Amino acid sequence: MSNCTVESSSVETSDGVKLHTRLFKPREEIKDNLVVVLVHPYTVLGGCQGLLRGISGGLADKGYRAVTFDMRGAGRSSGRPSLTGFAEIKDVIAVCKWVCENLSADRILLVGSSAGAPIAGSAADEIEQVVGYVSLGYPFGMTASILFGRHHKAILQSPKPKLFVMGTRDGFTSVKQLNNKLSSAAGRVETHLIEGVGHFQMEGPAHDAQMHLNLQQLDSRSSHQIAFFFILILGPLSARERMDDLPHLLRSQNKETKKT
């Protein structure tokens, strides 16, 4: 099990919704001032921050602070969920603002799972401190696009570094659809496919002994490889491949942006 501390808080949005928020903190030294903010799957179908407990606890074990929250209408948060996720963009912005003001964070890595991916993607460029984006099972498929299609443009046109993680058996988006969507995306784009994994297997990474075993088998250099870390805890051990060091990627991207 994760060896971290968890603190609960309440964050209020610009339209008065109160969000139940959790901060996962390392028991030992914090390795980086970057904070990971995670956005959970579709509230209408039962999505809540509890589905992100495994990732958040694992990040804290590796020395990073992680923040999860129940979007409006989920868990102990007030308000009502929307069908398309546009009202929830305010939730992401409010939590990121709270992170910057209360955790002295100057950099945020924004992570969205399932329907949380398009919501997070639409918020990414609204928050200056967001320096990178990770999608876990972005629903790009035709049926899902009826609800979330209007979110696509925001993240595809964002100049910020992006990592898209998806199972090859995802029922909402095919590998071909993912590649077609990302072919014209702006900025630095990375993808990682997890062989044989479906969409809902991506929604709730196990926070059990198997995940703990995976984390223990990370080599010492991987403590700064956020992207590699996500892939490891979401997929089988055989999925371990070398990935670019995401914090280094973010620093490089920022330098390139300043030059232009």
Please tell me the pTM assigned to this model. 0.80
Model pLDDT, residue 2: 64
191 vs 29: CA distance, rounded Å? 31
Q: How many domains is the chain partitioned into structurally?
A: 1
Mean pLDDT by 10 residues, the chain (260 residues): 87 98 91 90 92 88 92 97 95 98 92 94 96 90 87 95 89 90 92 82 51 36 38 34 38 42
What is the CATH classification number for the domain harbouring 97? 3.40.50.1820
Reduced to 3 states (helix: H, G, I; strand: E, B; else coil), residue 34 is strand
- Identify the pLDDT of residue 218: 32
Q: What is the predicted pLDDT for the residue at 63?
A: 86
pLDDT at residue 129, as a whole number: 94
Range of the domain at 50: 4-259
| Nearest one of 179, 64, 169, 144 to 111, comparing CA atoms | 64
Q: What per-residue confidence (pLDDT) applies to 196? A: 82
pLDDT score, position 171: 85
Checking DSSP bridges between strand 34-39 and strand 18-26, what pairing results, if any?
Answer: unpaired
Where b means 16+ CB within 10 Å and e means fewer, 50-85 reads ebbbbbbbbbbbbbbbbbbbbbbbbbebebebbeeb
Residue 213, pLDDT score: 39
Report the pLDDT value the prediction gives residue 33, as an integer from 0 to 100.
Answer: 84
